[in-house]
Structure 1
């Protein structure tokens, strides 16, 4: 009996040594999980603010990670309080669906009963854009509110482009 357990233990040890990630799971590299950095979010918000100021608008900027968690928020002086929630909803929409909120609105309108219009926590107004990294991986969403939906899209795009 001892010989059998000894062979089994020897076999198990040799398997664990052959596969180091099984031998020590704490040293195994975790899978990559891209997310927007705080620095990138601040830079985007600054670019959006500059674009809005150039057009004479005050806006609210909400930037979330790809799970919809708030990463950066900025409300310029002179914006309505309603724009706070709208900007958050636009960002969340584009974080949960890697689409522009306006694109989701167009898709929804083309379907019977406009199904996305009734989803809680989403909005179908223009001004929400997905944030993609250099490899095309979806890492977040930005939502702008305070101007017209068309201008909100323009300011969100300026944020993504880093325009002044």
Structure 2
């Protein structure tokens, strides 16, 4: 089953078990996969993983990253934790609306590199944000992290 996250994704399906939070072990595994991918391409990144309420589950800052990247990674994760969309997709939606409404929300960013974490039933369980490389590579490293869960993030 391929799940594409949208704002209309059903919160509960009759055949789905109770929502299981992201475990510390899964969060560490995701961060390790993203770090390996970044190192392989010569980048130092910051990884932030939050639950679907925006509460921090895991944070890792590789040596050589800026404090700005630390803040941006957290904003990217929080954005994708509050909406079951990538931060990039939310930016694209916002740009098409009068007054670009999401651009001015406190605690959000529309920079690429934030992805929602969806469970096997298509339910939104959190967000991951990565910063430190280019926005496109940040999103690529986030997708690699999600692959450790078998999550089907589209990046959109």
Structure 1: stretches of 5+ with no match in the other structure: 1-30
Any idea what the Cα deviations from partners look like across 1:101-120, whole Å, max 9, x if unmatched? Answer: 00000000011111100000
State the shift of 1:134 in Å: 1.5
1:153 aligned to 118, 127, 139, which one? 139
* Residues 89-104 of structure 1: pairs in structure 2 closer than 5 A: 89-104=75-90
Q: Which has the higher helix share?
A: 1
SS state of the match for residue 60, structure 2?
strand
The two structures have a TM-score, normalised by structure 2, of: 0.82
Any idea what the Cα deviations from partners look like across 1:63-122, whole Å, max 9, x if unmatched? Answer: 000100000000000001100110000000000001000000000001111110000000
2:52 aligned to 66, 69, 79, which one? 66
Give the aligned length.
Answer: 133
State the shift of 1:162 in Å: 2.5
Q: 1:134 to 1:33 in 2, by over 3 A?
A: closer
Q: Distance in 1 between matches of 2:60 and 2:18?
A: 29
State the shift of 1:155 in Å: 0.4
What RMSD over aligned residues (CA atoms) do the two structures have, in Å?
A: 1.4
Question: Who is 1:44 aligned against?
Answer: 30
Query: Which structure's relative contact order is higher, taking Cα pairs within 8 Å and 6+ residues apart?
Result: 2
SS state of the match for residue 122, structure 1?
coil
Q: Distance in 1 between matches of 2:64 and 2:77?
A: 21
